[in-house]
Chain A
Amino acid sequence: MNCQEALDLLYEIIDKEASEIDTQEVKRHLDHCQDCFGRYQLHGAIQSLLKEKLKVETDIPAIERMRGNILSKLDEIDAQRESGGPKTIPFRMPAVALAAVAALVLLVGTGFFANGLYKHYTEYIPIERAHWAASENIDIFKDSDKTARMITAVSTDFGLTMNPDHNGLKLVGGTSREIRGMQVSQFYYSNGEYSASVFVIPASEITFSDDLIKTKVTIDGHCFYDHNCRGCRLLYTINGDAVIITASTDRNYELTKFNPIIGAI
């Protein structure tokens, strides 16, 4: 083994990833090569010193705080499982309803009207379909930047290239429509080139397979949405509804069908 060969294996040896044979060969080389030995020694020392420096003292208050939050979330999940799955919680309080609508109006407001693409204002999302938005847990439309980030991530997973600025994805409309016999709410994001939709579908009507990376959402064995759709991901279920992001190459797909969400008023 020459010096170049020995140095090529340096990191694999330090990380204990080299084969037994290679490790022996390198050892033999280091026995008679002072220069390589020095380099191995230095890099090995750097590695252990780095590890030493990166040790983190356990932040006990933080751990306790997280544990408490996690346990109460687990309690919620258990309670849901005990009752046989998510239940639809009716939209009860007018005050909450107004708050939900107000939140939606706020979000859609400027972006939507500045867009000028919308012509039809006849179909509105029924108020009861907006109930999920009132939940504290749904922040998807409260933080449009986070939403755009999630959409970008999902789209990237399915091969649509988006730059880190999300290529100007904006919430441009929403509608209530029927897909495979299901009444769903669809919120439509577009940048004029790619589009993505956030769907809200009754969770009881869909099945999904999940390998932790990608989710396939089906209704009666068929992919629930297929307009040039590259793939979709279930974000979470809430109050009996599943919130799903789809990524598509549709360009402004039937934009006029998307109505202002404020129609809910």
Chain B
Amino acid sequence: MADTNSNIARKRQAFEKEALPHMDALYRTALRMTKNVGDAEDLVQEALVKAYRFWDKFETGSNCRAWLFKIMTNVFINEYRSKSRSPMSVNVDDIDDNYLYGQLAANSDGDNPEKELFAKMLDDDVKKAIDELPEDFRIVVVLSFIEGFSYQEIAEIADLQLGTVKSRLHRGRKLLQKELLEYAIRNGFIKGPQK
């Protein structure tokens, strides 16, 4: 059945008002997902066009932002997931949760070692550390850290069990801390581990 023209116009208007304003947020997450500007733009466009095709399925009043991120994450996983993605077998269990804490406490003199450390780090360095996370961890870390989605929302967006979200986030954090610390040591921001 053909939609009436006024019906189409109404849908279009609602979509432009409710969905398109999330383009900024989608784009910044797409950048971290794809790690590349061209792919990120393609991903956002593909996700929003897909969202428009399925706009009838979006329940007015529900969380449009989370719905759009779900579509984009799905498109990313299905079509953009890198061929050479890092295996999930990254062993993070041997990284202690308090690794960074211990290292900072042992190797710094100031009261706020973390502030000193981060003050020297460039935004790009931190982004690079995120980009180096294995893809499955990176997706949940980005959705949590950058977009501030709750564990439950991330579970729905990435189609994962709640427990999987928690464990990937936890493991992602550990790896990130390790990467940042190693980076800081390499660049002489803090001293290396003392034997």
Contacts and interface: CB of A to CB of B under 8 A. Distances in A.
B123 A53 contact: yes
Given A15-B151, A63-B24, A66-B45, A213 B74 contact: yes
Bin the interface of chain B by size.
Answer: 35 or more
A49 B117 CA distance: 10
A54 B126 contact: yes
Interface in A21-56: 38-39, 42-43, 45-47, 49-51, 53-56
A254 interface: no
Contacts of B81: 149, 153
A83 B121 CA distance: 56
B8 interface: yes
Contact of B1 (A63, A84, A165): A84
A46 B145 contact: no
A157 to B, nearest CB: 8
A51 B141 CA distance: 11
Contacts of B31: 56
A54 B127 contact: yes
A213 B78 CA distance: 10
A42 B111 CA distance: 11
B114 interface: yes
Contacts of A154: 78
A212 B104 contact: no
Bin the interface of chain A by size.
Answer: 35 or more
B112 A45 contact: yes
Contacts of A67: 20, 23
A74 B14 CA distance: 13
Interface residues of chain B: helix, strand, loop or mixed (majority): helix
Contacts of B20: 67, 70
B195 interface: no
A143 B28 CA distance: 27
A65 interface: yes
A53 B28 CA distance: 13
Question: Which residue of A49, A53, A210 has the most chain B CB atoms within 10 A of its CB atom?
Answer: A53
A110 interface: no
Contact of A82 (B5, B23, B24, B123): B5
Given A53-B123, A63-B24, A150-B79, A74 B12 contact: yes
Contact of B23 (A11, A55, A66): A66
B41 A62 contact: yes
Contacts of A38: 101, 105
B48 interface: yes
Contact of A153 (B57, B78, B123, B127): B78
A69 B127 CA distance: 27
Contacts of A70: 20, 23, 45, 48-49
7 contacts: A7-B98, A39-B101, A45-B112, A55-B123, A77-B49, A81-B2, A210-B54
Interface of A: 7, 10-11, 15, 17, 38-39, 42-43, 45-47, 49-51, 53-56, 58-59, 62-63, 65-67, 69-70, 73-74, 77-78, 81-85, 145-146, 149-150, 153-154, 157, 164-166, 210, 212-213
Closest 4 A/B residue pairs (Cβ): A84-B2, A53-B126, A153-B78, A56-B28
